[in-house]
Copies of this chain bind each other. A is one copy, B any other.
Amino acid sequence: MSTCRCEGDDLTRRFAIVGHRAPSRGKINLNDLAGGSGRIDVLMRAINAALFLSHGIRKDSEITLHLMGGEGRPRRINFDGSVLWGVHPDERALAGQVSKVLQEPLPAVGQWFELHPGLSHSGGDLQTTIDEWKKSEITMIKLDSDAPMLWSDNNESIPSDIGFFLSDDRPFTDSELSSLDESCISRSLGENWIQGHIAIGIVHHQLDNGFPLNL
């Protein structure tokens, strides 16, 4: 497995994860993230993997949660590692941050409102994020275990800005797939359906180590 140290090292990595049952407003039960809170534990682990090294925060990474559950309109929450500070990597602490956001009035679709450096929220859903990323000319990849592998022996081009879409413990809905397939290429990290946060960790690993991408 040959690796190269090239433009890939300076990539900005974006991750977008959909929480199909995670509530977009109201209170989160911090003592029951997996059961009563719509598997929001899955999203907290995704934040951890997207942003944290063993000591410190990745400055080149950000993650957008899509909270599609509960009553009312969906909410998006963005954690931006380039300016974020004062967060802890454990599930409960991260859920505490998200819980505070859910107490705030929901901004309009596409209007990002910063609550704390590196922590913003907005109305909108997966399609809104796809539209925003398309405008920013981000190379968009849907992670899908059935697709061709993400890495390759021949990397013809490495984008400067790359975004990955993944789902929580449930597959993307037909409507989400339809939106994604219009704008993304699909790539796999292997045949196993691994956990979302592990997938994020593997993507970082491949980009950190300059593995040639199959784009």
Report how many copies the assembly holds. 2
Q: Report if A127 contacts B (CB, 8 A).
A: no
Q: Report if A135 contacts B (CB, 8 A).
A: no
CA–CA, A192 and B206, complex, Å: 12
CA–CA, A164 and B97, complex, Å: 34
B194→A33 contact, CB < 8 A:
no
Point out the residues of chain B lying under 8 angstroms from A49, CB to CB.
195, 198
Q: Report if A161 contacts B (CB, 8 A).
A: no
What DSSP secondary structure best describes chain A's contact surface? loop
CB-CB contacts below 8 Å: A32-60 with B: 33-34, 41, 45, 48-49, 52-55
Q: Given A198-B205, A202-B205, is A31 in contact with B92 using a C-beta cutoff of 8 Å?
A: yes
Point out the residues of chain B lying under 8 angstroms from A151, CB to CB.
1
CA–CA, A208 and B198, complex, Å: 13
CA–CA, A3 and B91, complex, Å: 34
Q: Report if A148 contacts B (CB, 8 A).
A: no
B33→A31 contact, CB < 8 A:
no
